[in-house]
């Protein structure tokens, strides 16, 4: 009886080690597949690059040469829209040391033709904006102030209140 119990326990131990060995092999194969997929994804990500606005580090990391240009503090949003419209890869850095802050735009050297077009449209938009600001259109608040003064200068009617008792 004792021998029979010992044989059964030995058989159980052998069977469990076989199962765990197979599981271990399967786990190692799955881990290897996962690593290969990660490497493949990294390779694909390395070959494709981001477009539009990006950091200076990413822009320089593409190894295609970088040019820079200074832009004033107004109209950065307009510049971004135009650069995205023409598909230019660019990075913007704000110079905080100066008081009105200056912005420096970095872009790829091969995008020079597209950048010249962007800058033409940007300059035209900025001049249009300045011209419209120079046209002496009074602000709404100034108009409101004038109307308030007119109303204050007008004579007011005095109302008399009389109560009469009627029977």
Largest Cα–Cα separation, the chain? 129
For 56-135, the fitting CATH number among 3.40.50, 3.30.70, 3.40.1000, 3.40.1620 is: 3.30.70
pTM, to two decimals: 0.47
pLDDT at residue 148 in the model: 93
pLDDT at residue 150 in the model: 92
Query: In this structure, is the dihedral angle defined by the CA atoms of residues 105, 109, 112 and 114, taken in order, positive or negative?
Result: negative
Spatial distance between the Cα atoms of 125 and 15, rounded to a whole number of angstroms: 80
Q: Where are the domains of the chain?
A: 16-48, 56-135
pLDDT per residue of the chain (167 residues) written in tens, 0 to 9: 778 878 778 777 777 777 677 877 888 898 899 989 999 888 877 666 666 778 778 877 777 778 777 877 677 888 888 888 888 888 888 888 887 788 888 887 677 788 888 888 888 888 887 777 777 777 889 899 999 999 988 887 777 777 787 77
């Amino acid at each position: 009886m004792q021998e029979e119990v010992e044989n059964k326990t030995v058989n159980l131990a052998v069977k469990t080690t076989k199962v765990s060995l197979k599981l271990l092999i399967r786990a190692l194969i799955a881990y290897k597949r996962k690593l290969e997929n990660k490497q493949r994804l990294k390779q694909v990500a390395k070959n494709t690059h981001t477009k539009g606005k990006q950091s200076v580090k990413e822009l320089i990391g593409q190894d295609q040469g970088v040019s820079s240009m200074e832009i004033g503090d107004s109209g950065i949003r307009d510049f971004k829209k135009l650069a995205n419209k023409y598909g230019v890869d660019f990075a913007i850095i704000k110079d905080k040391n100066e008081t009105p802050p200056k912005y420096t735009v970095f872009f790829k050297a091969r995008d020079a033709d597209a950048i010249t077009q962007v800058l033409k449209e940007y300059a035209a938009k900025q001049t249009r904006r300045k011209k419209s600001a120079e046209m002496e259109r009074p602000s709404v608040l100034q108009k409101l102030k004038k109307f308030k003064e007119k109303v204050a200068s007008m004579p007011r009617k005095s109302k008399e209140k009389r109560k009469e008792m009627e029977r």
